[in-house]
Chains A and B, each alone.
Chain A
Amino acid sequence: MTSIRTSGGTTRVASLTSLASLVAAALIGTSPSASAADTLDVVVPFAAGGATDIVARSFEPTFSQQLGVTSVVRNVAGASATVGTAEVANSEGNPNIIGYEPAGALTIQPSLKDLPYGPDSFTYICRTVSNPMFLMVSKSSDITSFQQLSDESQEQPFLYGSSGPGTLPHLAMAALTVNSDLKAQHVPYSGSGPAMNALAGNEIQIMADTETILENYDLRPLAVFAEHRVEGYPDVPTMQELGLPEMDFAVWQGVVAPKGISDERAQQYADACKATVESEKFKTFAEKAKAGIAYLGPDDFKAYVEQRVEANKQVLKDAGLTE
């Protein structure tokens, strides 16, 4: 009980300060200061309690400890995570703000919409976790292979769900329908939950998502959108093994800072991130939450994001989602 009290006490102060800083920020606008202060703003572009938020909140304590600062997780949600991401991008030169970002906001949305930021707006710190996506159908269906799925779709196209337009589940399936004989049409839902409900009720037949979703519901994997087979799923073939072009889709998260911060600060962030990802505490959490740790350092992460932006741009174009 004492542990509850102490941790509760500090977090209450933290949430009060965050509330106060929210109000202050809203009233006077965020004022970027050039020097590194003791408080770090960790922007999570989703509402509290979501999948990304949970990982961010487990990442944040160790990260700020490494940096020797007090940090506050701030949820700035809306418009497919682009609002919070834009706030990080708009804080150019501010050494006291970072974003804990999902893949979509960094590598899909900029090609899809007119946003106040692009891939060049950030200083890339690190990629933390990444989970490959699976192509899956309901366990109650009699389809057991991709070939069978593709054959049965010729008469009447299947419907595939997604957690929203322009999300990774949408893109992965769009890429698959463009690059294979599979005939399927997109039905977007407002999140993975409602899409799973639709799959359970056979309103849709196909969904692409990660291992977490696969394990939590009665689903059957048919293939994996990755270079190699995934540990724990030795029978699930990759797209290449099915004779299709390479398709690499993973749900990943990473840390970015606004551009224009000093190299010294960027290096501090990078070191802290590496130490956090390698810490026992984060590893234990990642295992529980089925988040696959996949660390990439600043340069590799930057190159990876650039490569994903190009690949996704091509998918969006092929699928007719952009011109």
Chain B
Amino acid sequence: MDVILAAAGDAFTWHALLAIVVGTWAGIIIGGLPGLGSVVGLTIFLPFTFGMDVITSMALLIGVYCGSVYGGSITAILINTPGTPQSAATTFDGYPMTQQGRVDEALGWATFASFFGGVLSCVLLIFCAPQLAKFAVNFGSVEVFALVCLAMLCIVGVSQGSTLKGLVCGMMGFFFSMVGSDPITGADRFTFGNYSLSAGLTLIPVVVGAFALSEVFVRFATRDDEAAKIPEARLRLPGLREIVRRGIELIRGSFIGSFVGALPGTGAAAAAFISYASAQKLSPRRANLGKGEPDGIIASESSNNAVTGSSFIPTLALGIPGDVVTAMMMGAMVIHGITPGVRLMADQAQTVYSLFVVLIIVNVAMLILSKPSIGLFRYLFKLPQGYVMGGIVMFSFIGAVSVRGNPLDLIVMALTGVLAYVLRRGGYPLAPLVIGMVLGPELESSLRRGLLISRGDFFAFFTHSGIASFLFVLIGLFVVWTLWSSFIQWRQHVNARADAVPSSGNRQ
């Protein structure tokens, strides 16, 4: 108890609190600007931390991280352009709600779900980190492969209308992710002998091109000022009764996010898609998903923010950074002489506890700062549309190149933007392209590692472990369920048509 009190004392110093406020607010803005995501935000702030003490620097970085994951949802809802890849799934229901004039409600749900997911994952981190870490260690290559297959199923759900078109885009994203170095042999592939392609296509330029740039093209091409008008964004947090009504969605999303975050190398974008896929099967309002249903926003935002807390689980319990972001945090710890690792929890209990306290304050700060941040975006989007769109294009280019400083990414982003515009015009959904890109590398490398481990026997995957068998059975059930429900729908459709023929014009 003394340790916890001392830790809280460390976290409640005025410079730590200032770092939290500055970091969180900057994170929300950076996350909200299309192109600039968590990694860019942290890269900008990392050099600041060199002169600070360890708690203050952690507070700043955690603030930027959590803020940016939430901030991505603002632009996803307002202009159909996820500020970060983690919020791509938020566009599915967020933007339709905006089009229906329910923008305040959408932002409210995104804010509350982010807060809820963040806090719940902190609680899990504090009380169940060792247990969750132990469980996550059981997720070897085969189990991860099964989990990713499960997540891939959500391509079908977000394809809206044409499953075939969705699969085409999904495969395209999958193929994009294969350009570059082979993850197992290291050989270059699909580079056409061009050296600059050997670094591969990364997620950020593709996502920015597919969403932000193509959105700009679409808005200018339609020349429909009324439709292109960005509505005034205000925040209306959901009432208690609403929260209770959708409580189960919040809890499911947060748990999925917390769990996926605890697996090294999976990340918040994947968590959001997995959570959305589960909402498609389990939400009582699933029929409305994709048409402007708050449950969709909840699924996406609660899970991606839950990753922020739980990605510290492997870092703290095992010393293994779960993603790029936690790897950067570990780097910052090393600079301050704290060596992350299995003994971190025992050797540096006070620092670890202050980290927990900081995480919770950051989430509270996020909730408080959401209103002024959205106000700022409202102000920005009031500018003449030419400036807004011009600004989006500029930030897209800056964001694309600043991820890894490779000029190739600029070309990739521009070409993806054009391609995405053509695809949208042809009625192809873009989300599967991003899903393919996010999940493709993990799917491929886990499959191939699994085959190395099972010495080439794919059927051994199904009986590899209890977890693997369970996940594969779940996939089987999902497939059967989807086929069955589309069969029912088809039959209803046929019946309705048969009924509708005599009384013309009355379509279901």
Contacts and interface: CB of A to CB of B under 8 A. Distances in A.
A binds B: yes
Contacts of A76: 404-406
B401 A50 contact: no
B318 interface: yes
A80 B335 contact: no
Given A80-B186, A193-B264, A203-B453, A7 B39 contact: no
Interface stretch (A14-22, A234-242, A263-271): A14-22
A289 to B, nearest CB: 5
B47 interface: yes
Interface stretch (B48-56, B160-168, B245-253): B48-56
Interface stretch (B97-105, B138-146, B371-379, B474-482): B138-146
A82 interface: yes
Contacts of A69: none
B200 A165 contact: no
Interface residues of B, number: 68
B401 A54 contact: no
A201 B140 contact: yes
B324 A49 contact: yes
A217 B452 CA distance: 24
A187 to B, nearest CB: 5
Nearest to A15: B44
Given A197-B314, A203-B453, A113 B188 contact: yes
Given A26-B401, A58-B335, A49 B137 contact: no
A305 interface: no
Interface string A254-277: 000000000000000000000000
Contact of B47 (A50, A57, A187): A57
A31 interface: no
Nearest to B196: A83
A201 B450 CA distance: 14
A143 B424 CA distance: 58
Contacts of A66: none
Given A159-B453, A194-B264, A203-B141, A50 B327 contact: yes
B190 to A, nearest CB: 13
Given A22-B402, A188-B184, A194-B320, A8 B51 contact: yes
Nearest to A87: B405
B318 A197 contact: yes
Nearest to B320: A193
Interface string A1-23: 10110111001101100010011
Interface string B299-317: 0000000000000001000
Interface in A159-211: 159, 164-166, 185-191, 193-194, 196-198, 200-201, 203
Contacts of B183: 164-165, 188, 190
A165 B401 CA distance: 26
Contacts of B449: 187-189
A244 B341 CA distance: 32
Contact of A116 (B141, B187, B195, B452): B195
Given A7-B50, A58-B335, A165-B186, A216 B200 contact: no
Interface string A279-309: 0000001001110000000000000000000
Given A190-B445, A201-B137, A51 B185 contact: no
B397 A23 contact: yes
Contacts of B52: 4
A49 B452 contact: no
B483 to A, nearest CB: 34
Interface of B: 15, 39, 42-44, 46-48, 50-52, 56, 136-141, 180-188, 195-196, 198-200, 202, 264-265, 314, 318-322, 324, 327-332, 334-335, 337, 339-342, 397-398, 401-402, 404-407, 410, 445, 449, 452-453
Given A23-B398, A49-B329, 20 more contacts: A11-B50, A12-B48, A23-B401, A26-B401, A47-B324, A48-B42, A48-B43, A49-B327, A57-B47, A77-B404, A79-B200, A80-B186, A83-B198, A112-B186, A164-B183, A164-B186, A187-B453, A203-B141, A203-B453, A285-B335
